[in-house]
Amino acid sequence: MTGSALAIQGQSLTKIYGSGNAQVTAMEDVSFALLSGEVVALLGPSGSGK
């Protein structure tokens, strides 16, 4: 898609659930850029925090 405009961008995103010994890192240092018109799907098991 040459010439498409940037629709949304995320940089260095991290999501942590819980705290202390119960802490779970769901994603760490994730970056992305989506252009206008692109189609994206988030996949994962039920209850995974999508």
Torsion of CA 13, 47, 23, 40, to 10 degrees: -10
- Residue boundaries of the structural domains of the chain: 6-35
DSSP characters for 1-50? -TTPPEEEEEEEEEEEES-GGG-EEEEEEEEEEEETT--------TTS--
- Residues in the chain predicted with pLDDT less than 70, given as ranges, are 1-2
Predicted pLDDT at 16: 92
Predicted pLDDT at 2: 63
Sign of torsion, CA 26 28 34 39? negative
R_g over Cα of the chain: 15
